[in-house]
Amino acid sequence: MDVKLNTIRLVRVLSLAGEILNNAVSVAVFCVLDFVDFILCFVYKVIDFWIESQWKPCYCSSAKQHIIEGDNILVSEECESKIVCLTSTNLQVEDISDTLYSRPSIVAQLSKFIINDLNKTKKTTVTSTFTIDSTIVEVLRRNVVPRWSDCDCKICNSWTSSRKDTLFVKAEGPKDKAREDVLFIHGFISSSVFWTETLFPNFSTTVKSTYRLLAVDILGFGRSPKPTDSLYTLREHVEMIEKSVLEAFQVKSFHIVAHSLGCILALAIAVKHPGSIKSLTLLAPPYFPVPKGEPATQYIMRRIAPRRVWPVMAFGASVACWYEHISRTICLVVCKNHRLWEFITKFITRNR
C-alpha cells in the first residue's frame, strides 16, 4: 500500500516538475522566436524590395488607426472577428478573424496579463475603435502576383492565369437514377482524395447504385482553383461549393459528410439550406467552448496554438500560427523546393 502511494506521489511530483519545465522552456524558446520573426520581417522586406522593387506590408504590421476616406475598403472593430468591407470590386470580405493581423508576442501577452491583474479592481471604460489592415487592403485593391519566394512550377501556378471558377468535384454513382446525393467535404491540408481513396472503394455496389457520391476539393485545395486575390473566407468557400456542386449537379436535397475544417463549412451550408439537408455527419469537428468575456478568436488561437514546446504537435501549430515570417522561411525551404523533396522521397521509398 505504501509503495503504491509513494508511486502516485512520485508521478504527481514528476508531472508537476515536467509542466513547470515545459512552461519555462516554452517562454524562453518563444521569446527567441518572437525576436527571430521580428528580424526576418525586416530581412524579407529588404529582399522583397531588392528583387521585386517594392516591399509589401505583412500581417504582423500594426493596423492603421484611421479609416481611408472615400474608399472604405476594410473596416474592423477591435476585439471583434467581424470585418465589414465596402469596395468597388466584386469582392466582399466579411467575418475575417482578427487573429490574421493581431498576434501579440509572448512578452506582450505576459505584460498584458500582469497589467490586467494589477487593474482588476479599477473600473475601465471600453471604447470601440476601428482599424484598417493595410495588407488586406492591398489584396483587395489589386490582384496579387506570385512572389519570388513562391514555387514557379506549372502546377503551383496553374490557377494564376486560369479562368476556371468552379471547384473540382469527384462524382461517383448513377447520374440520373440516384435516389439521394451525398456531399463529402474534406478538412485542412487535405483534398477529395481523403474520401475517394478510403471510403469510395469500400462502398458496396448497392450504395454506389443508390447514392450519388460527390467529393469536392474546397477552394485552394487539391485540384480546385487557388486564386491569389482570395482571402478564403467562410462565405467564399460556401458560395463556391454552392456553385460547383449544388447548382452544377442540380442537387436539391442531400446528406453531408465532413471532416475537420469541412465541418465548419458543412454547418454553414446547413444553416443556409436548412430545408435541403437530410443528414449531417461531422468527423472531428473543431469545437472550443469560449469562457464568457473572453475574445473568442484569440482564446481559440491560444487553445489551438498554445506556444508550448511539448507536445510536438502543439509546437508545430504554434510556429505555424503565430510566426508569419518563420513560416514563410519554412515554405521557402520546403514548398518552393517541393519537386526536389518529391524526387528524394521517391528515390528513397521507390514508391509514388
Task: Please state, in angstroms and rounded to a whole number, the distance separating the CA atoms of residues 297 and 301.
Answer: 6
pLDDT tens track for 4-38: 788 888 889 999 999 999 999 999 999 999 999 99
pLDDT tops 90 at residue 130: no
Is the Cβ–Cβ distance between 216 and 167 less than 8 Å? yes
Residue among 294, 304, 314, 320 nearest 23 (CA)? 314
- Judged by phi (left if over 0) then psi (alpha if -120 to 50, else beta), residue 250 lies in left
Number of residues written out for the chain: 352
Question: Which of 268, 286, 304 is the last residue before a domain boundary?
Answer: 286
Count of Cβ atoms closer than 10 Å to residue 305 Cβ = 20
| Domain co-membership, 273 together with 173 | yes
Distances (CA, A) of 184 to 1, 67, 192, 270: 54, 41, 8, 13
Question: Which of 252, 268, 286 is the last residue before a domain boundary?
Answer: 286
Question: Global pTM?
Answer: 0.73
| Domain co-membership, 55 together with 172 | no
Task: Please state, in angstroms and rounded to a whole number, the distance separating the CA atoms of residues 217 and 259.
Answer: 12
Q: What is the mean pLDDT of the chain?
A: 79
Task: Please state, in angstroms and rounded to a whole number, the distance separating the CA atoms of residues 87 and 336.
Answer: 33
Q: Is the peptide bond before 57 cis (omega within 30 degrees of 0)?
A: no
| Domain co-membership, 253 together with 208 | yes
| Domain co-membership, 27 together with 2 | yes
Mean pLDDT along residues 266-274: 96
| Domain co-membership, 276 together with 301 | no
> 3-state class of 108 per DSSP?
helix
Task: Please state, in angstroms and rounded to a whole number, the distance separating the CA atoms of residues 132 and 62.
Answer: 9
For residue 120, being part of any structural domain is answered with: no
pLDDT tops 90 at residue 120: no
Number of domains in the chain: 2
Instruction: Look up the domain containing 345 and give its range.
Output: 1-61+296-351
Q: If residue 330 lies in a helix (H) or strand (E), which one and from where to where?
A: helix 324-333
| Domain co-membership, 228 together with 266 | yes
pLDDT value of position 233: 87
Distances (CA, A) of 236 to 88, 95, 206, 343: 17, 11, 35, 35
pLDDT tens track for 219-269: 988 888 887 667 788 999 999 999 999 999 999 999 999 999 999 999 999
Q: If residue 16 lies in a helix (H) or strand (E), which one and from where to where?
A: helix 2-52
Question: Which of 262, 286, 310 is the last residue before a domain boundary?
Answer: 286
Top pLDDT among 233 and 54 is at 233
Cell output for 170: 469527384
| Domain co-membership, 335 together with 306 | yes
